Structure 1
Amino acid sequence: MGFDLEALREAVKTHGKVVRVVIAGIKGSSPREVGAAMLVWKDGQSGTIGGGTLEYQAAEAARSQTVATRLTHHTLGPDMGQCCGGAVSLFSEVYDLKKVETLDDTIIARSASCGATPLSVKRVLAAARSQGIAPEPRLIDGWMIEPVHKPARNLWIWGAGHVGRALVDVLSPLPDLAITWVDTGPERFPDVIPAGVTDLPATKPAELVRHAPPNAEHLVLTYSHNLDLELCNRLLLHDFRFAGLIGSATKWARFRSRLAALGHPPDRISRITCPIGDPSLGKHPQMIAVGVAAQLLRPARQNELKKDLSA
């Protein structure tokens, strides 16, 4: 996880002054990892640094913060009533719209003091930029260095019905997913689209398949079997990392026959997964969404994606 610049921009635009609190360092056991962050404003917050009491106290301190940046150290355990037993360093920084617009869009480095950038930090930044490799979030000589988060996976959700909406609700908070949501018209979508989701109304959705990156993942669950079939046909003619189709074994048997009649060989057709999710959970939209999310995020699937990305 890196610095979620888009989430910060949206929070500042909506709430005005926002304090970003990030775990800068840990010793021993900790509720979250270095780089985990939350955004805090006058009457609310988003994200989490975990830890119950730690997060509560950090949020209260953020709301009363008067300095631009602050680095604090917290011992967990009996003093906080937590069982982690480690220690956590927190870097808290106040943002407004003007400050957000000055941030770099690749790597963000700043300190709790106003001193010059130390050589150790300059070396990390130079190496990262010359090699094109994002550094891990870390604290170096009082400076917090974080790569700007870029979603690693493109997910296209075809259909904004009950299941499509449930899927977007479940998947949109996940930072590694950039979601494109397609249906036949603007009236098919909810009034509020979650941050990080691009809604694309299109009279002929299948015409958009050619615009999807070849490494995108797709979930096909429109209101029309004919449209589902045409999307599967277009996807097989295009390319994809993963394609899942909502439906029963009977629906998939019919689709396989029709896709074969359209000229697709069996090994190509078998790249489409149907049914998706976990049928044992039931047919309630939220249950389908939970099952599909688990399917997309299971460790074995993550390993497959890592291999694809490194190929």
Structure 2
Amino acid sequence: MSFDRASVTAAVARHGRVARVVVAGIEGSAPREPGAAMLVWDSGQSGTIGGGALEYEAAAEARAALAAGRDAVARKPLGPALGQCCGGAVVLVCECWDAARLETVFGAVVLRRVEGAADAPLPLKRAAVKARNAGAPVGTEFRNGWLLEPVARASRAIWIYGAGHVGRALVSVLTPLPDVSVTWVDTGPDRFPDDVPQDVTVLPAANPADAVRLAPAEAEHLVLTYSHALDLEICHRLLSHGFRAAGLIGSATKWARFRSRLAALGHAPEQVARIRCPIGDPALGKHPQAIAVGVAAEILSAGVSALDRPHYREDTA
């Protein structure tokens, strides 16, 4: 887990000031891992640190911290204090963020004092320098009142073509995943819902296939428009443009026709085979949300691209 500057920036833009509550450390069993965080403001919150009663109490304390304009640190024994069965304890750091404070966040890591000693512990200083200068990985660590966190960088660009039922389900499931940025393409602004998640880039295009040229070469693409002809054109453009991975919603019959037509357009069979059709896990069923869950599960599979595994569904439109 890491400091998600984009989500904090968006929340500050909407609410002016927000409290960020992060799990800075754990002892024993805990609901979430170090680095898990949530944002809290006067009338709401987003994200989760888990634990039910823990989160409820932490949110109330975060609003109090916001009202007082101060940061805070709290150690929460989960069993004795909150009646939770985890049995461990968590250290929570609550910080108040506004636009001015966000300007202090840059580079690969953030190291800041929450309480305690004026100087950062030497191990944290060294870890921060290695991360900034050599790209060394760091995790969330809290020592002597100082908090070290990596800054989130979206490492996977996912482009979704189509804002119908499956497209909307995919966006709702994929957007909260860490290290993922979503670009959503369809024919016009009226095709998208009113409540598009704030971290999603909406890209209306009269011909969505024209948007392919704007995608990074290492992007992953999910093609699921209302038109088979448009799906085919997007696949054709993708094969000419390059991609990390690509998936197409459809049946085995649809994919057989597409393979033939893409070959006729001049694409070699081994290149066409890089597009996986259909997407998702057929065992989960054909409901849009079930397809989205299947795709998300593949994205979360360690070291495996969301679309690099072959799947076959005989009866999906």
1:57-112 Cα distance to aligned partner (Å, 9 max, x none): 11111111225222221212133211111121111111223322333353222122
**Distance in 1 between residues matched to 2:55 and 2:231, nearest whole Å:** 45
Q: CA deviation at 1:134?
A: 4.0
Q: Assess if the C-alpha contact under 8 Å between 2:245 and 2:305 holds in 1.
A: no
Distance of 1:133 and 1:158 partners within structure 2: 35
Asked if the contact 1:158–1:183 (Cα under 8 Å) also holds between the matched residues in 2, the reply is: yes
What does residue range 1-311 of structure 1 map to in structure 2 within 5 Å? 1-65=1-65, 66=68, 68-113=70-115, 115-118=117-120, 120=122, 121-297=124-300, 299=301, 302-305=302-305
Q: Percent identity?
A: 59
Separation in 2 of the partners of 1:108 and 1:235?
A: 37
Identify which range, 283-292 or 181-190, moves more after superposition: 283-292
Q: Is the 8 A contact 2:121 2:143 kept in 1?
A: no
Alpha-carbon distance in structure 2 between the residues aligned to 1:235 and 1:17: 42
Contact residue 171 and residue 293 of structure 1 kept, 8 A = yes
Q: Greater CA deviation, 33-42 or 89-98?
A: 89-98
Structure 2 letter corresponding to 1:88: V
Which residue of structure 1 lines up, in the alignment, with residue 312 of structure 2? none
Secondary structure at 1:79's aligned position in 2?
A: helix
Q: Residues of 1 paired with 2:121 and 2:279: CA distance?
A: 52
Paired residue secondary structure (1:77): helix
Alpha-carbon contact 2:109-2:150 (below 8 Å) kept: yes
Q: In the TM superposition, what is the alpha-carbon distance from 1:290 to its structure 2 partner? A: 2.4
**Unaligned 5+ runs, structure 2:** 309-317
Amino acid at match of 1:303: G
User: What is the CA–CA distance in structure 2 between the aligned matches of 1:49 and 1:87, rounded to whole Å?
Assistant: 13
Distance 2:126 2:286 in 1: 54
1:113 deviation in Å?
Answer: 2.7
Distance in 1 (CA, whole Å) between partners of 2:293 and 2:132 is 38
Q: Please report how far the alpha carbon of residue 199 of structure 1 lies from its aligned counterpart in structure 2 after TM superposition.
A: 0.9
Q: 1:119-167 deviations in whole A, cap 9, x for unaligned?
A: 5133222221111234211113320011111112110001112221121
Identify which range, 155-164 or 182-191, moves more after superposition.
182-191
CA distance in 1, matches of 2:299, 2:129: 36
Moved over 6 A (4+): none
* TM-score, reference length from structure 2: 0.89
One-letter amino acid of the counterpart of residue 60, structure 2: E
Q: Given residue 248 of structure 2, which amino acid in structure 1 is its aligned partner? A: L
- The CA distance in 2 between the partners of 1:284 and 1:30, in whole Å, is 34
Separation in 2 of the partners of 1:278 and 1:103?
A: 40
* 8 Å contact from structure 2 (residues 174, 296) kept in 1: yes
Shift of 1:44: 1.4
Other-structure match for 2:314:
none
Which TM-score applies when normalising by structure 1? 0.91
Question: Is this contact kept in 2: 1:69–1:111, CA < 8 A?
Answer: no
Q: CA deviation at 1:305?
A: 4.4
Aligned to 1:276, what secondary structure does the other structure show?
A: coil
Residue identity in the other structure for 1:203: A
Q: Report the CA distance shift for 1:305/1:253 in structure 2 as closer, same or farther (over 3 A).
A: closer
How many Å apart are 1:115 and its aligned residue? 4.6
Distance 1:122 1:296, change over 3 A: closer
- Alpha-carbon RMSD across the aligned residues, in angstroms, is 2.0
Counterparts of 1:197 and 1:260, CA distance in 2: 34
Is the contact made by 1:179 and 1:197 (CA closer than 8 Å) also made in structure 2? yes
5+ residue gaps in structure 1? none
* Distance in 2, Cα, partners of 1:195 & 1:175: 15
Over residues 252-281 of structure 1, what are the superposed CA-to-partner deviations in whole Å (9 max), with x where a residue is unaligned? 111011111122222221111111113344
Cα gap change, 1:19 to 1:189, in 2 (>3 Å): same
